[in-house]
Amino acid sequence: MVAPYSPPFAITPAIVTLIADIAERVGQHAQAADSAAALRLRRINRIRTIQGSLAIEGNTLSEQQITAILEGKRVIAPPREVQEVRNALLAYDRFATWNPALEDDLLAAHALLMAGLVERPGAYRSGGVGVMSGSVVVHMAPPASRVRGLMEGLFDWLHGCEVHPLIASCVFHYEFEFIHPFDDGNGRMGRLWQSLILSRWKPLFADLPVESIVHAHQDDYYRALADSTRVGASTPFIAFMLGVIREALGADPPEQVTVQATEQVRRLLASMGDGCYSAKSLMMLLRLSHRPTFLYDYLQPALAAGWLEQTHPDTPTSPRQQYRLTRSGKQVAQDLT
Residue 185, annotated as binding a ligand: yes
Closest CA to 131 of 7, 222, 55, 241: 222
Residue 287, annotated as binding a ligand: no
pLDDT for 235 beyond 70: yes
Q: What is the pLDDT of residues 66-95, one digit of tens each?
A: 988 988 888 899 999 999 999 999 998 899
Within a domain: residue 22? Answer: no
Residue 124, annotated as binding a ligand: no
pLDDT for 240 beyond 80: yes
Cα distances from 279 to residues 24, 55, 227, 228, 320, in angstroms, run 26, 25, 20, 22, 10
* Sign, Cα dihedral of 305, 243, 25, 248: positive
Within a domain: residue 51? Answer: yes
C-beta neighbour count of 327 within 10 angstroms: 9
- The confidence score (pLDDT) of residue 61 equals 92
- The confidence score (pLDDT) of residue 261 equals 67
Query: What percent of the chain has pLDDT above 90?
Result: 48
Structural domain including 328 reads: 263-336
DSSP symbols for 256-324: S--SPPPHHHHHHHHH--SS-B-HHHHHHHHT---HHHIIIIIIHHHHHTTSEEESSTTSTT-TT--EE
Cα distances from 187 to residues 77, 92, 169, 299, 314, in angstroms, run 22, 16, 14, 26, 27
- The confidence score (pLDDT) of residue 320 equals 87
* Amino acid (one-letter) located at 291: R
Within a domain: residue 87? Answer: yes
Within a domain: residue 31? Answer: no
- Please tell me whether residues 268 and 224 are part of one structural domain: no
- Please tell me whether residues 226 and 115 are part of one structural domain: yes
Active-site amino acid positions: 180
With 0-12 CB in 10 A as exposed, 13-18 as middle and 19+ as buried, what is 17?
A: buried
Closest CA to 66 of 54, 57, 56, 58: 54
Residue 26, annotated as binding a ligand: no
Contact between 13 and 239 under an 8 Å Cβ cutoff? The reply is no
Domain count for the chain, please give it. 2
Per the prediction, the chain carries an average pLDDT of 86
- Please tell me whether residues 237 and 268 are part of one structural domain: no
pLDDT bin (cut points 50, 70, 90) of residue 136 is low
Contact between 243 and 21 under an 8 Å Cβ cutoff? The reply is no
Residue 138, annotated as binding a ligand: yes
CATH number of the domain to which 316 belongs? 1.10.10.10
- Please tell me whether residues 242 and 269 are part of one structural domain: no
Within a domain: residue 132? Answer: yes
Q: What is the pLDDT of residues 14-40, one digit of tens each?
A: 899 899 989 888 877 765 555 444 555
- Domain termination residue (choose one: 226, 249, 272): 249
CATH number of the domain to which 142 belongs? 1.10.3290.10
- Please tell me whether residues 279 and 240 are part of one structural domain: no
Residue 87, annotated as binding a ligand: no
- Please tell me whether residues 269 and 224 are part of one structural domain: no
- Domain termination residue (choose one: 222, 249, 276): 249
Residue 21, annotated as binding a ligand: no
Cross-strand partners of 140: 130
Residue 190, annotated as binding a ligand: yes
- Please tell me whether residues 174 and 292 are part of one structural domain: no
- Please tell me whether residues 230 and 303 are part of one structural domain: no
Closest CA to 19 of 221, 283, 264, 300: 300
Within a domain: residue 286? Answer: yes
Considering 157-171, 240-254, 266-280, 301-315, the range whose residues carry the highest mean pLDDT is 157-171
Within a domain: residue 206? Answer: yes
- Please tell me whether residues 319 and 296 are part of one structural domain: yes
Task: Give me the mean pLDDT over the 109-116 stretch.
Answer: 96
- Please tell me whether residues 73 and 139 are part of one structural domain: yes
Closest CA to 282 of 263, 257, 305, 265: 265
pLDDT bin (cut points 50, 70, 90) of residue 253 is very low
- Domain termination residue (choose one: 218, 249, 280): 249
- Please tell me whether residues 186 and 317 are part of one structural domain: no
- Please tell me whether residues 227 and 279 are part of one structural domain: no
Q: What is the pLDDT of residues 298-332, one digit of tens each?
A: 887 787 777 888 888 766 667 888 999 988 788 88
Within a domain: residue 204? Answer: yes
Closest CA to 186 of 87, 5, 57: 57
